[in-house]
Amino acid sequence: MIVPMIKYSFLVYHRDFNSFLSKLQELGVVDISKENRTVDEEEKAIINQINRYSNALRFFETRTPSEEKITLSMDADDVISRLDILQKEREQFDNSIKKSQKELAEVKPWGNFDQSLIHKLSDKGIKIRYFAIPEKSFNDEWLQEYPIEIISTESGLVFFVLIDSGDIQIPADFQEVRQPQFSCKFKEDEINRYLGKIDEIEKEIDFLASYNQVIKKSQTELINSLEFKVVSSSADKQAGESVMVLQGWVPEPQNQDLVNFLEQESVIYISEKALPQDNAPILLKNNRFAKLFEPITRLFSFPMYAELDLTPFFAPFYMLFFGFCFGDAGYGILFVVVATIYKFKASQTVKPILSLVQFLGIAAVIFGALTGTVFGYDLAETQIPALVQYKSFFLDKNTMFYSSMAIGFVQIIFGMCVKAANQWIQFGWKYSVSTIGWVIFLLSSAIFAVLGKVRPELGLTAFGPIHLVIVGIAGLAIMFYNSPGKNPFMNFGTGIWDSYNMATGLLGDVLSYIRLFALGLSGGILGGVFNSLAFGMAPDLPVAKQIVIVLILLIGHGINIFMSALGSLVHPVRLTFVEFYKNAGFVGGGKEYEPFQRKQ
């Protein structure tokens, strides 16, 4: 449900305004209206600084803070400035290493040599010349004919040097290359020096990571100051800027706290209950079960203040749909067990998500038990003596196929009931009559169609006399009371259009729910395939057989669990946001309640 809001208007003398805002921020219950304002340059600078802090904190999360005791007094800006310098230096050394490695690869065929010795030989008129030719073109007789020495053979090339005293005629087959300017060892030592510098940088970065709490504190202070500035600039200046007018919202349960605070301040205020047409912020309050599904609500949009909160209405269906899609009792038990174990050491923010995983796992266990699927095994087809008497209770594929559409039809009808209730609450009962007519028409048609097949002796068939009376009453509401206050011809035209949309849209909506059956079926088949592969491809060797079976089962079922879980999360969300929200008449666009408070 949506928590009722109280709208407040504050009139504050300009000299008391900052003091009033500080106390209001400490109280932390009022969501201040910040409409029709632009972000100034100072706020942009603060936001950029906050983002710098956030980037640094995210980076430090990947580091292991040094255990060295902090003795150097540094503020957040000093830490981040030093971090920027170190990261730039690290990048420069990384680039230098890449360059040196490339140069090392070029001189590696020539090995290690003394550059000074080569210069001394050159001064005495003895020149060392360098050649590289394809290995297949090298003639071994050259070793006897010329003063050459093979240095190395790499990548199909022969690298050799020739001692040239000035009177040697070099064959045309010799392909001379540029003289290396340094030896391998020189470049290797250079790379090691760079690596040593990087190691020093890494240690200093780990030391800076010890200041993450300092950065968090500065970031929090900056966020609070930004929020204060935004709220301060949102005030409307009146009476020659001597009176500041501020508007805000407070949840009804916290209203008395605000009243007690205001009675102690020299402030004039006006309070009134928020009206449906007011753009009041949204604060959701649901029971323990529905509250677990509020993150799914946030994925799409918050409802408008005048609307109903659909979270408690789609929560049971979402759990049902997940179980239908996942549909494996073994996987479900695994989810429940892992989530239960992890809850013992999880933080308070993660525990609700783990509770949701437990509920979804229970749904998978229930549907897996109904279909007889456990870790890809179809219990209905196994010859386990203890299960023979229960095989008739397992639901077959045809039953699951029709059940998926039946569940979809039920959710669509339920969504239309929610729409009728929403219209009744927002606009009055007249505006819900047409929707109620559609509910009666569709529900009665389904009931009479089933009764006509199951109990024909009752004479309650679809479009029989009794059903036609019900359809006639519903038709009058649909065709002539869909737009209260308009003339009958306008209502009739709108009714024709609504009937066309219902006829074309309802079938597509119901067929969309077949995906529940398809996903559950594909997951079960894929699990069975991995089981067959594990036992069919294993070699007939005592130890190797068990190892191969375990590896295939772990990898195969791991892939299947991931794919099935992903599909089981996404497709129910799609059915909720498209089919259910549409038939429930959801508008959305509400703004979440964000109180003006000092963050810790």
Task: For 412-456, write each residue's pLDDT tens digit.
Answer: 999 999 999 988 888 888 888 888 888 888 888 888 888 888 787
Provide the pLDDT for residue 390.
67
Q: Is the pLDDT of residue 207 over 70?
A: yes
Can you tell me the mean pLDDT for 44-72?
83
Provide the pLDDT for residue 588.
86
In 3D space, the residue among 121, 86, 374 whose CA is nearest the CA of residue 206 turns out to be 86
* Calpha distance 44→374 (Å, rounded): 56
Q: Please report where in the chains the tokens 């993150």 appear, as a residue.
A: 295
DSSP assignment, residue 590?
Answer: B
Kindly report the average pLDDT of the chain as a whole number. 86
Percent of the chain with pLDDT over 70: 97
* Calpha distance 506→498 (Å, rounded): 11
Residues 24 and 250 sit within 8 Å (Cβ to Cβ): no
Provide the pLDDT for residue 69.
66
Highest mean pLDDT among 2-6, 126-130, 528-532: 2-6
Four-point Cα dihedral 17, 23, 28, 32, nearest 10: 0
Provide the pLDDT for residue 389.
66
Among 178-182, 484-488, 523-527, the minimum mean pLDDT is found in 484-488
Provide the pLDDT for residue 372.
84
Can you tell me the mean pLDDT for 216-225?
89
Q: Which pLDDT band holds residue 313 (cuts at 50, 70, 90)? A: very high
Provide the pLDDT for residue 576.
92
Q: Which pLDDT band holds residue 385 (cuts at 50, 70, 90)? A: low
Can you tell me the mean pLDDT for 524-536?
84
Provide the pLDDT for residue 70.
64
CA distances from 319 to 104, 366, 378, 573 (A): 61, 11, 23, 11
Greater confidence, 2 or 235?
2
**Long-range CB contacts (< 8 A, 24+ apart) of 475-484?**
475/437, 475/441, 476/437, 477/433, 477/434, 477/436, 477/437, 477/440, 478/434, 478/437, 478/438, 478/441, 481/430, 481/433, 481/434, 481/437, 482/433, 482/434, 483/434, 484/430, 484/431, 484/433
Can you tell me the mean pLDDT for 86-108?
90
* Calpha distance 410→504 (Å, rounded): 18
**Assigned CATH for 1-34+234-283:** 3.30.70.120
Q: Is the pLDDT of residue 337 over 90?
A: yes
Q: Is the pLDDT of residue 387 over 80?
A: no
* Calpha distance 229→221 (Å, rounded): 12
Report the predicted TM-score, pTM, of the whole model to 2 decimal places.
Answer: 0.77
Q: Is the pLDDT of residue 61 over 90?
A: no
Identify the helix (H) or strand (E) that includes residue 144: helix 142-145
User: Would you say how long the chain is, in residues?
Assistant: 600
Q: Is the pLDDT of residue 36 over 70?
A: no
SS3 279: coil
Provide the pLDDT for residue 18.
86
